[in-house]
Amino acid sequence: MPASAYDRSNIFARILRGELPCRKVYEDPFALAFHDIHPKAAVHVLVIPKGEYVSFVDFTADAPAEMQAGFWRAVAATARALGVEPGFRLAANTGAAGGQVVFHFHVHIVSGPRT
Ligand code: 5GP
């Protein structure tokens, strides 16, 4: 999906606008983090930027430097808030062929035994 095809009705856009609920873990001016609705491990949290970016490729190409730095710091702050700093995995499924289902850029933080 090209960057121009950002769909404002995607689920994460609706969560960002407060139209759908989420189990919030962390929020700051750059990002929102919340528990995945279908956790694949003991800890499975999604971090999304507060901007219209379809994927990792789109975000890293188009987001202003302040937003990119703020987003990755928010990922780290979320890991701290979750208490998973001793060990966790980050994943960003990118493009339909890469397993991306929701086309608002997001990073999965996964830790602990698979569920
Ligand atoms: P993707 O495959 O796009 O990287 O992952 C999308 C993730 O979003 C999946 O792990 C899925 O369980 C999660 N998800 C889909 N819809 C919702 C929702 O409405 N709320 C939350 N919290 N997670 C969702």
Q: Count how many domains the chain has.
A: 1
pLDDT in tens, 58-104: 999 999 999 999 999 999 999 999 999 889 999 999 999 999 999 99
Average pLDDT (16-39) is 98
* Cα 111 to Cα 65: distance, rounded to the nearest angstrom: 28
* Cα 77 to Cα 45: distance, rounded to the nearest angstrom: 12
Rounded to the nearest angstrom, the distance between the alpha carbon of 64 and the centre of ligand 1 is 25
User: 97 in ligand 1 pocket by Cβ < 6 Å?
Assistant: no
Q: Which CATH number fits the domain that encloses residue 27?
A: 3.30.428.10
pLDDT at 31 over 90: yes
Which amino acid, one-letter code, is at 45? Answer: V
User: 92 in ligand 1 pocket by Cβ < 6 Å?
Assistant: no
Rounded to the nearest angstrom, the distance between the alpha carbon of 47 and the centre of ligand 1 is 11
Nearest to 5 by CA among 55, 66, 76, 72: 55
Range of the domain at 65: 3-114
